[in-house]
Structure 1
Amino acid sequence: MTFLALVRHGETDWNLHGRLQGSSDIPLNSTGRAQASEAVYELEGRRWDLLVSSPLSRAAETADIIGAHLGIERTGTYADLAERHFGAAEGFTDYDAWSRWPHGHYPGLESRENLIVRGLRAIDEIADMHPDSSVIAVAHGGVIRAIVGALRGIPSPRILNAGVSTLVRQNGKNWTVETINGVPAQRTR
């Protein structure tokens, strides 16, 4: 069995101001650093074998803060855990993006299908490389939401900053979503 805790990074100034971050590398703010420290309360009490993150600095720093509290070092990054690329809309607020592209198809927008494929590929790769392990993977709200929604077959709720969602993979193939933002979930893929 592989136990995977998907943790969303802490808050950034762009989160605070409702801007689409996507693949832009925006750092944590002081609230985000505090949220990363608080996420530890949900993660402590289990032995963790591995800590990894998206390559974006807000996820890497969140992972490093969590790791410092839990006594585990971040040992790798997975490009497939990066946030969805919003193309020309990155840096815009939702309203500004909508007023410019009311159809929601921003130039350069990564498709939801691609986001799901690479998100599932990332968690499968982590589990394949680290079977029978407990892993913390720090990523982004969009990719976590895509993963959880695909596994459950229904849309996922919004993933909170520093929210912890947990998955279990049994027998090397089937994932079960156990929690979303720390709240018990049901339905499997």
Structure 2
Amino acid sequence: MNGTRRGPRVVFWRHGQTSWNLEGRFQGSTDIPLTGTGVAQARRAARLLAALGPDAIIASDLRRAADTAAELAAVTGLPVSHHEGLRETYAGVWQGLTNDEIQRKYGEDYAAWRRGEPVRRGGGELETEVADRAVPVIQAAVAELPTDGTLVVVSHGGAIRTSLGRLLGLEPFHWESLGGLSNCCWSVLGRGGRGWRLLEHNAGTLPQTVIGDDT
């Protein structure tokens, strides 16, 4: 696979399971740790991702992402660079609430957000503002990669989706078309002739070379 790649590759890896994931609570920028299952998920995924031969690891400084990244660092020997810019969307008063609680208390804002309107959920950040802070961190790390290098970005579901949407050149309204990532699954971008292209999404196995008319 490495012999056919051209240009950098970016692996977006979501953190492992937390107790708030299990309870269906909006985590946002709240610093919630991994569960034991989350740690096990990270260790399993790290062994797979290490086979890609990553050249650099960057991560959100929230501990659920930082601890996930640490598992890959332990396998590869690479250092992890932590960045506040890769944190999950700050969602103000929505943080800590379940989906049902949010709909009950903030139904109009929730409905507008689901329609794709720009909403400061809970008085927090717009999705475009998350991309504004996350994407430059990713681009700076990509610029430091060797030719055909691989960067692993360890972050959060919302922050990853906004970053993917921005890098793929999608309008913000269409970012929701990128389905969410399961805990400790990943998406992969590769550089194509017209910019970034989505190679894998919500994967839990190693990316495979695509052989076909579109390569």
- Whether TM-score is above 0.5 comes out as yes
| 1:112 aligns to 2:118 (yes or no) | no
**Residue 51 (structure 2) aligned to one of 38, 45, 48:** 45
In 1: Cα distance, 2:121 partner to 2:150 partner: 38
Amino acid at match of 1:76: S
Q: 1:131 to 1:102 in 2, by over 3 A?
A: farther
Query: Which letter does structure 2 place at the counterpart of 1:164?
Result: W
Provide the TM-score with structure 2 as the length reference: 0.77
In the TM superposition, residue 152 of structure 1 has moved relative to its aligned partner by: 6.0
Question: Mind listing any 5+ residue stretches in structure 1 that lack a counterpart?
Answer: 185-189
Match of 2:101 among 96, 99, 104: 96
Deviation digits for residues 36-60 of structure 1, max 9, x if unmatched? 0121243132222112210100000
Which residue identity is paired with 2:152?
I
Is the Cα contact below 8 Å between 2:54 and 2:151 reproduced in 1? yes
- Partner of residue 58 from structure 1, selected from 55, 64, 70: 64
Identity %: 31
Secondary structure at 1:149 match in 2: helix
Matched residue type, 2:202: N
Per-residue CA shift, 1:54-104, capped at 9, x if unaligned? 010000000001222x22233311222110011111000011111111122
Unaligned runs of 5+ in 2: 1-6, 111-119, 208-215
Aligned to 2:201: 180
Q: Which region of structure 1 is more displaced relative to structure 2, 112-121 or 1-10?
A: 112-121
Contact 1:2-1:170 at 8 Å conserved across structures: no
Aligned length: 183
> Where does structure 1 differ by over 3 angstroms across 4 or more consecutive aligned residues?
none
> Does the aligned pair in 1 maintain the 2:25–2:97 contact within 8 Å?
yes
Q: State which of 166, 178, 190 in structure 2 corresponds to 1:156.
A: 178
| Larger Rg, first or second structure (1 or 2) | 2
Counterpart secondary structure, 2:96: coil
The answer as to whether partners of 1:50 and 1:74 remain within 8 angstroms in 2 is: yes
